Structure formats: C-alpha cells, structure tokens
Amino acid sequence: MAVVTEAKPVRTMDDLVSYFASGEKPREDWRIGAEHEKFAFRLSDLRRPEYAGPDGIEAMLKGLMRFGWQGYYEQDKLIALTRNGASVTLEPGGQFELSGAPLATIHDICSETGQHLEEVKAVASELGLGFIGLGFSPLWSREETPIMPKGRYNIMRAYMPKKGELGLDMMLRTCTVQANLDYASEADMVKKFRVSLALQPLVTALFANSPFTEGRPNGFLSARANVWTDTDPDRTGMLGFVFDEGFGYEAYARYALNVPMYFVKRDVPENAGYIDASGQDFKAFLKGELPALPGELPTMDDWADHLTTLFPEVRLKKYLEMRGADGGPWSRLCALPALWGGLLYDTVALDQAWELVKGWSKADHDTLRGMAAKTGLKGEIAGRPVRDWTLDMLDIAKLGLRNRNRLSGGMVDETGYLSELFEIADSGVTPAERLLALYHGRWQGDLRHLYAEEAY
C-alpha cells in the first residue's frame, strides 16, 4: 500500500480507508510510542500556573529549550516543543504532555521518559514549580484552572457543554498515560483493537489514581474514567461495533464520518488558523457543502485532524492508541507501554489474550468500564472476580515480553516493568485506594501531603 501524503484530496470511502491502510508495517518495523500527561503546580500555594509570567507554562517551555528542544508557535505563542521525534505539548488546562518518539523497546521508552522528567525537574525547580502524576486535578475547580492559548481549545470549550456535563473537566482537569502500537494488516489491526478494547477497563482499574476533587474524596477511584462517561457520547465509549462481524478500516471510517466535526485548519489568521466547524458534518465536507467552508473539499490533512477529535477508549489512526489509564508516578509510566507491548506484539500472547476476552458480551464491556471507575479491582464480571481477570492479563503480558526477548545491556528483558502492576493486582488495592487510606489516616484530610509525597 502506497504511503498517503497529507495533501492528497479526499473524495471517496476508499480514500478515507487508505489513511488507515497506510499505517500498516511489517513486524520488524513495529514500534511503541508512550505518552503521559502531568499537572504543574506552584510550590508556594499548589495552584496550577498560568501560561504567562515568570513561573508560568511558557517559562517552562522556554527553559526546556536549552536541552535541544525546538519551539512550535501559534500566533507568536510558544505552545509546543519537538526533539528527535518526540514532542512536549500542552493540554487545555496547562497539563504538560510528553509524546514520545516511536521506539523499539520499553528500555528505550523508559530512558526517554526519565530524561524528559529530569529536564522538567531541573527547569521547574528554578521556577518554583513542581509536577505530579494523577488522573484528576485534586484541588482546583474548573474556574480556578488556567486556560492555555491554543486555537482548537477555544472551539472545543464552547462546544463541549452542549454534549455532556463533564467535557470541560476532561479538558481542564484530567491527565492520562497512553501507549501507541502498530499493526501489520487490517486483520492484525482488528484483532489488536478487539483485545485492547475489551481489556481497557482492567487497565483503567490497575492504574486508577484519581479519588479526589476539590480537596475531598469524590466517590470514584478513577474520576478521570468517570468524566469520559459524560463528555460527548458521539465520540467516546467502548465502540461495541468493533466486535461485530466484518469490522475493519471501513467500519471505523463510517463511525468517524458520523461524529460531528470540531474545526478545519487553514492558513488564516483568525483563531490561530482554526475555523469553527463544530457540530458540522464531514460527509457534507466531502460534497463541498460544509457551512464553515462552502464549496471547498477536504484533504487527507482534514481527515487526519478530524480523527484526532474522536476519543474512544481505543482510537485508530495510523496506529492504535490505548487511552484508558490515569496519570501516575514515574514508576508506572513505563509499565503501561510494557503491558500493551507484551499483550499485542507477541503472537502467542495476542492469541491468549483473545481467548481470555472473546466470550465477553458488549454488556460485560460496558459493565466492566463502569466498575473500573467506581470499584477498581473489586467486583465480578462474566462469573469471575475482576482481580482474577487482571492477573490473567498480566501473566499473558509477561509471557509476551519474555517471548519478545528485548534485552537491556544484553541481560535484562522487559518483564520487570510489570512488577508494580503485579503488586497492585496481587493486593487488590488500587493506587487510588492507597491514597484514600493516607488521606483518612496519616494525612488527616490534608491534601498538601499528596503534593509533598507524590510529586515527581
């Protein structure tokens, strides 16, 4: 399949499908990309920093440039950095995200992540800032959260409240850790999509790390996961059609076509080049009938941009994105890509993972998703405790990593990165429950201790 160029015009379903097909890679070229978000806070008062000012997010970005990062600007505002295939970007409320380069091993990913966090710590200490990994902002309200100057976020902030009660919380007050993985063919994509989507709630439970909102327990172990249940039903959720017979690139393309648009990006000065097309129909765009750009037809760039505005638990682009885990401490940032690499990149492990989940119904998937946010590893699904399913998943991932046999220094394989996840699953106590025990115990309800003890 020829590589799709981003300037290519888009007219037919075959054009849309070709975007996904162009992501196919032979096994020897498979890589893993790791992403994580984190909250910045001022050491003096624990508040989230504004964009501007001597201790702001802009100052953080500028400080990192001394390590070889190159700046990316929107209307003279520094909003991102790039280096060696990786990027540092800003979420709407100033959450700091590392989108790592596609790398061959978890050892490489952990090295990249560690270097980034060391650089962040060096700059943050000079500015009186700290960083913490959690799934949901534990202290500050929406109104107390700063807004970053990125054009697309203005459109999203206006549209989100029309579709759900918690969309603005998703934008401003959540952090996640993700992994991106390749596929060899349409059939390989389908199998990986089904396995990862079914298992995603177990991962949500393992990584649940957001039990506080505005200084108090919120009744969830993953408030971040709960936010996604009331953000925008058009573009979120478990995508039950993925498990239907005949699912493939075209079925996902048809799903994406039915999701209302947010914007179109053009070289115009207004709103950093983002044209508001919120609620409009990409199918109309294909006919030259988009109200925001009457008479204009889309390009592959427009299709790629539209796909980034879909937020299901697993997302297809030119690779598969695993999107179900709360942000967390340094030690768990390497665990997520290790887990998914072990499950999806070894044939034996992938087959075993499918055998594990293939009997689950769509109702099981939805039930498990809700349980993960509320009760974590407790409860039962398909006749077995959630904890037992999770331990089975981890055993399969460990087998996959052992079979991959990617060694560091010729001696150590990648299985060690799963150790903390095994500890969580063995105990049945999620990270959120551990934080709640500290809150009700030694911290005596004072979340200042959270920032002192859990910061990077």
Q: Is the pLDDT of residue 388 over 80?
A: yes
- The pLDDT score that the predictor gives to residue 350 is 98
Q: Is the pLDDT of residue 4 over 80?
A: no
Residue 390 is encoded by which pair of tokens?
A: 């999770």
Residues 47/283, Cβ–Cβ less than 8 Å:
no
H or E element: which one contains 72? strand 70-74
On the CB side of 317, CA atoms within 13 Å amount to: 19
Residue 308 is encoded by which pair of tokens?
A: 């980034």
Return the closest-CA partner of residue 319 out of 179, 197, 177.
179
- The pLDDT score that the predictor gives to residue 410 is 79
Domains for the chain: give ranges and CATH numbers.
13-259+310-454 (3.30.590.20)
Helix axes 186-206, 362-375, angle to 10 degrees: 30
Specify the range with the lowest mean pLDDT, choosing from 18-27, 193-202, 263-272, 319-328.
263-272
Q: Is the pLDDT of residue 252 over 80?
A: yes
**What are the angstrom distances between the C-alpha of 239 and each of 35, 200, 234?**
22, 12, 10
Return the closest-CA partner of residue 237 out of 164, 305, 169, 314.
314
Confidence at 334, pLDDT banded by 50, 70, 90: very high
Q: What is the pLDDT of residues 270-305, one digit of tens each?
A: 788 999 999 999 999 999 999 999 999 999 999 999
- The pLDDT score that the predictor gives to residue 138 is 98
Q: What is the pLDDT of residues 191-229, one digit of tens each?
A: 999 999 999 999 999 999 999 999 999 999 999 999 999
Query: Distance between CA atoms of 276 and 49, rounded to whole angstroms?
Result: 28
Q: Is the pLDDT of residue 245 over 80?
A: yes
Q: Beta strands 311-312 and 236-237: pairing type? A: parallel
Q: Is 151 helix (H, G, I), strand (E, B) or coil?
A: helix
Helix axes 347-357, 386-404, angle to 10 degrees: 170
Q: Is the pLDDT of residue 440 over 90?
A: yes
Residue 63 is encoded by which pair of tokens?
A: 């400080």
- The pLDDT score that the predictor gives to residue 274 is 95
Query: Distance between CA atoms of 35 and 340, rounded to whole angstroms?
Result: 13
**What are the angstrom distances between the C-alpha of 202 and each of 31, 120, 141, 401, 421?**
23, 31, 29, 19, 11
**What are the angstrom distances between the C-alpha of 352 and each of 96, 238, 342, 394?**
36, 21, 11, 11
- The pLDDT score that the predictor gives to residue 409 is 81
Q: Is the pLDDT of residue 340 over 70?
A: yes
Burial status of residue 38 (CB atoms within 10 A of its CB: 0-12, 13-18, 19 or more): buried
- The pLDDT score that the predictor gives to residue 1 is 29
Residues 456/133, Cβ–Cβ less than 8 Å:
yes
Q: Which amino acid is at 258?
A: N
Return mean pLDDT, the chain: 96
Q: What is the mean pLDDT of residues 339-345?
A: 98
Q: What is the mean pLDDT of residues 101-118?
A: 98
Q: What is the pLDDT of residues 71-80, one digit of tens each?
A: 999 989 999 9
Confidence at 127, pLDDT banded by 50, 70, 90: very high
Q: Is the pLDDT of residue 429 over 90?
A: yes
Q: What is the pLDDT of residues 225-241, one digit of tens each?
A: 999 999 999 999 999 99
Q: What is the pLDDT of residues 28-48, one digit of tens each?
A: 999 999 999 999 999 999 999
Q: Is 413 left (phi over 0), alpha (psi -120 to 50) or beta?
A: beta
Q: Is the pLDDT of residue 326 over 90?
A: yes
- The pLDDT score that the predictor gives to residue 382 is 95
Q: Which amino acid is at 153?
A: Y
Q: What is the mean pLDDT of residues 403-409?
A: 94
